[in-house]
Amino acid sequence: MKQLLYRLLLSFNSTSLLIVVYLVKSGYLFLPKNIWINVSPWISYAIFLIIPVLTTILSILVIDFLDSDSIELKNGKSKINFIEQANNQFLPSYLGYFFVALSIPNLDTLIISYLIIYGFTFCSQALYYNPIFLLFGFNFYYITTINNIKIFVLTKQKLKNPSEANFTHLKRINNFTFIDTYKL
């Protein structure tokens, strides 16, 4: 149940900037214009942007509720064959979200589009790429183990050499996605 709730939160974090872009494009205001007070629309835009940042912080704070796991050195030998940085691989997909948000004509279409994208993100169970994690110092890596299993790891470690990679503080999001809590 904890992992289900966490995956729901990560799916929202991964897709929420689509909503932010649409709201800004459409000129929605968090604080409606008032005859007596002139509030800049930038305050609304900042509030819209802060919400995904706060939910990302929440997802970092509740990591401890996930099941623990590890990929540790065994007899001084790494269980990792290959490390591939994934930070930049998701940029085209994420830019696609922005283009979708910019082309959505109305709120009804946004709701349907968002639910479809959210559903696909949640059901894929493979990756929860959220660029806001980059702002908090996380990196995204594909790790291939000695058993040729490819997993996705979010970590603050800078990984270069598979023979030195050691994950003793992993939290399992699902069977193929982990978050490293070593430097949290």
Q: Is 4 exposed, middle or buried (0-12, 13-18, 19+ CB in 10 A)?
A: exposed
Residues 7-32, mean pLDDT to the nearest whole number: 89
Cβ neighbours for 182, distance < 8 A, ≥ 6 positions apart: 155, 156, 157, 167, 168, 169
Torsion of CA 145, 60, 121, 106, to 10 degrees: -160
What pLDDT digit, counting tens, does each position of 36-95 carry?
Answer: 667 788 888 999 999 999 999 999 999 989 989 888 767 667 788 889 998 877 778 778
Q: Specify the pTM.
A: 0.85
Pull the structure tokens for residue 41: 């629309």
Better-scored residue on pLDDT, 78 or 104: 104
The domain locations on the chain are 2-180
